[in-house]
Structure formats: C-alpha cells, structure tokens
Amino acid sequence: MQVQKVQAIEDTHRAASVISAQGLNLTFQTNDGPVHALRDVNLEIEQGDFVSFIGPSGCGKTTFLRVMADLEQPTGGTVTVNGVSPEEARKNRAYGYVFQAAGLYPWRTIGGNIRLPLEIMGIPKAEQAKRVERVLELVDLAGFERKFPWQLSGGMQQRASIARALSFDADILLMDEPFGALDEIVRDHLNEQLLKLWARTEKTIAFVTHSIPEAVYLSTKIVVMSPRPGRITDVIESPLPKERPLDIRDTPEFLEIAHRVREGLRAGHQDE
C-alpha cells in the first residue's frame, strides 16, 4: 500500500519532468583505459525550464547532452525524454539540436538549410514555406532566406542553425555551446535574443556552456559539473525573474549566483 503510493508519486513526478536521469553512468573504453565521462548523474528537467550545464572541459556536460539526444549510449542508469527512451524521443523528433558550429550546408541557401529537417520529415511544401518564414522571423533573419551561408556572419549563421532546430516545432531544444565560437559582443546579443525566443516559444532548453555569466544570465536552473569522473556537484535554482535585461548582470543577486557557480566549479577542482 505504502509502496504503491510512493510509486504513484514518483510516476506523477516523472510525468512532469521533460528529461529525467537516474543513476546515469557512461564509461568510454579508450586505448588508455576506461574514461568515466559520467558517473551517477541524477537530474530532473521540468517543462519550460532553461537549464545550463557548466563545468570545465571533460566534465561530461556535452556527453550528457548527447545522451539525451541518443547520440551516445549510457553504460548504466536510465534517462527518459518526454517519458520515453532517448532513442524513441529521437525517432519522435522530440528535440532540436544546436551544435557548437552552425554546420549549415554550403550548397543550400539559408531557407534551404532550414527546410532540410522539414524535407526529411516529409512536411508538405506549402507548410515548409510558412515555417521557414516564421522561424526566420523568430531569430531575426527575415529577408535572408535566399542568401547562402558564406554571405552571413558567424553570429547570423548560428542564428540560422537555431532557426533550423526550431523549424519542426520540437518542445525541447538541446544546445551544445552554440555561442562558444563567437565574440563577446555578438554573444551578449544572441543571449538576449535567445531569452526572448525562449519566452515566446515556451520551449524546454538544455544549454551547455563554459561561461559563468552566460549560464547565470540565461538559466532557471544551473547544473554545475566537475571532471574525472564527470558528475554533478551543484544544482542552482535561479531566483532571477523571467524578464532579464542585459544589465541584470550587475545586480547583487546575479553576482551572488555567479559566485556560487564559481565556488561549485572550484570545489569540483579541489576534489582531484
């Protein structure tokens, strides 16, 4: 009786979670022996969350994101995405993935690149055109549909790749250091735009970064990770309001969270 109740509570809890990881382990077998990319990772991501993963190189943040996307297979534990396995979620086209590089096809126009997933998913032509127009407007690239990627700046290319990930209307957006290769000014601008886009689309976003200000500025939840073995050392629920102008980064609340993230990163380092 008691057990059943607990089970029921757990079930409802899981239903509310868009992404849920329990006791997740991933070990890569390399020539230099096993590498523990992830060890005992537990995390719940709720509907509409903006979750940042921050940590030094090798802490498994990208690996974790790739596990959610079914691009890596865990060696232990369970992950569910939308209540099903990552593989099933991938086949349901449950998420859009944004890589560190824009990775636009040079032989397709911006519009053609955004149409790529729509063509693969067999969406009718008229609908494709409508969606391309809508997502281009979302990322502030209206009028660039017929341009080729090389005609756009790096920041614009990355925005086009976000539009591509948005085009098929997945509820989840997985972003792997999407602004890592861009300069500070462009990055600020894109962060601001990304927040607006998140507010408008109400998507659940998982965002990998190694910039503390970026993580604090964007997130409702900050997951601090540390390397060897990759694990979560701290999960910070951000008290910042949803409306965030860029100068919020100078407020004491912001600095306090940034401080806590830094402490978390340092603690992870001292463990070594």
Partner 1 sequence: MEKGEAGGVVLKSILPVLTVIGAILLFWLVAVVPMNMHLVADQAQRDGLKVTPDAPAARQEYSGTGLALRNLHLVPLTYSFVRPTLPAPQQVAGEMYATIIDKKITSKRSLIYHGWVTLAPTLLGFFIGTGLGILLAVGIVYSRVMDRSVMPWAIVSQTIPILALAPMVIVVLGSMGVQGLFPKSLIAAYLSFFPVVVGMVKGLRSPDAMQLDLLRTYHASNTQGFWALRLPASMPYLFASLKIGIAASLIGTIVAELPTGAKAGFGARMLVGDQYGQPLVSWAALFAAALTAAALVGLFSLIERMTLKRMGMQAA
Q: Which is nearer to partner 1, 109 or 128 (CB)?
A: 109
Considering the complex, what minimum distance in angstroms separates the CB of residue 211 from partner 1?
21
Considering the complex, what minimum distance in angstroms separates the CB of residue 31 from partner 1?
19
Q: What is the DSSP string of 131-145?
A: HHHHHHHHTT-TT-T
Helix spans in the chain (H): 2-16, 61-68, 86-91, 110-120, 125-138, 154-166, 184-201, 212-218, 252-270
d(CA 200, CA 12): 27
d(CA 199, CA 202): 5
d(CA 127, CA 114): 13
Q: Which is nearer to partner 1, 101 or 248 (CB)?
A: 101
Q: Which is nearer to partner 1, 150 or 185 (CB)?
A: 150
d(CA 61, CA 53): 6
Give strand pairing partners of 81. 19, 84
Q: Which is nearer to partner 1, 179 or 217 (CB)?
A: 179
Considering the complex, what minimum distance in angstroms separates the CB of residue 106 from partner 1?
6
Considering the complex, what minimum distance in angstroms separates the CB of residue 257 from partner 1?
31
Q: Which is nearer to partner 1, 168 or 198 (CB)?
A: 168
Interface positions with partner 1 (CB under 8 A): 69-71, 90-91, 93, 95-97, 99-101, 103, 105-109, 116-117, 119-121, 148-150, 168
Considering the complex, what minimum distance in angstroms separates the CB of residue 144 from partner 1?
13
d(CA 182, CA 265): 23
- Are the C-beta atoms of 70 and 240 separated by less than 8 Å? no
Give the H/E segment covering residue 52: strand 50-54
Considering the complex, what minimum distance in angstroms separates the CB of residue 120 from partner 1?
5
> Residue 113 burial by CB count (10 A; 0-12/13-18/19+): exposed, middle or buried?
buried
Q: Which is nearer to partner 1, 119 or 271 (CB)?
A: 119
Q: Which is nearer to partner 1, 159 or 244 (CB)?
A: 159
d(CA 90, CA 173): 12
Considering the complex, what minimum distance in angstroms separates the CB of residue 9 from partner 1?
33
Helix spans in 31-124 (H): 61-68, 86-91, 110-120
